[in-house]
């Protein structure tokens, strides 16, 4: 009887050890995958979430308001205030398509009122760049969260001299 008890204890020990070593083996196999993605923002660490709220330009006349939409993307409206009048200048939507973040932008008085599509080319936790080399101007749209209350944006595109022009848009948060 004592021999049977010893065999049962030994068998239980072997099973427990095998299960533990299998679990450790599984974790070490997935560890490199986790390390590869550590530099890529996760859904909870996107620059877009940090952009939510209303931002006011340095001159105090222009605003950008970012909100999350019900489709898992983001919407923006850019407007200026002249006295008590609000002039809506631009609307944008950011959404995920085939593992790429897409920025579609409609600017009042441009492109026959049609949205222009840009694809994310840089995506980090505090910075995003969208590119469309086929568009006349801009070809690149950049947003960087400098700190919790500072949004620096700029657009880049070709100029008539064969170079590139950069136009900055710097904002301070007014509403989160």
Render 42-58 in DSSP notation, one character per residue. Answer: PGGG-HHHHH-EEEEET
**Apex CA 17: angle with CA 16 and CA 20, to 5°?**
85
15, 63: one domain: no
For 106-169, the DSSP string reads EETTSGGG--EEEEEEEE-SSEEEEE-TTSSS-SEEEEEEEETTEEEEEEEEE-TTSSEEEEEE
pTM, two decimals, is 0.74
67, 99: one domain: yes
Domain assignment of residue 71, given as a range: 43-175
Alpha helices for 39-98 (secondary structure H): 47-51
Give the total number of structural domains in the chain: 2
166, 103: one domain: yes
131, 144: one domain: yes
Q: CATH no. for residue 151?
A: 2.40.128.20
Q: What is the pLDDT along the chain (176 residues), one digit of tens a residue?
A: 444 444 433 333 333 333 334 444 444 333 333 222 234 455 557 899 999 999 999 999 999 999 999 999 999 999 999 888 999 999 999 999 999 999 999 999 999 999 999 999 999 999 999 999 999 999 999 999 999 999 999 999 999 999 999 999 999 999 88
């Amino acid at each position: 009887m004592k021999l049977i008890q010893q065999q049962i204890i030994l068998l239980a020990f072997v099973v427990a050890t095998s299960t533990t070593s299998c679990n450790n083996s599984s974790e070490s196999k997935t560890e490199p995958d986790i390390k590869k993605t550590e530099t890529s923002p996760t859904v909870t660490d996107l620059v877009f979430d940090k952009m939510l709220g209303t931002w006011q330009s340095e001159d105090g006349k222009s605003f950008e308001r970012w909100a999350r939409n019900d489709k898992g993307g983001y919407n923006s409206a850019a407007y200026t205030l002249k006295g008590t009048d609000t002039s809506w200048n631009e609307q944008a939507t950011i959404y995920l398509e085939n593992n790429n973040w897409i920025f579609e932008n409609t600017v009042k008085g441009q492109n026959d009122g049609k949205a222009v599509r840009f694809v994310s080319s840089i995506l980090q936790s505090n910075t995003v760049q969208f590119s469309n080399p086929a568009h006349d101007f801009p070809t690149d749209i950049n947003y960087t969260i400098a700190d919790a209350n500072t949004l620096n944006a700029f657009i880049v595109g070709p100029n008539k001299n064969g170079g590139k022009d950069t136009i900055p848009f710097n904002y301070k948060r007014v509403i989160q």
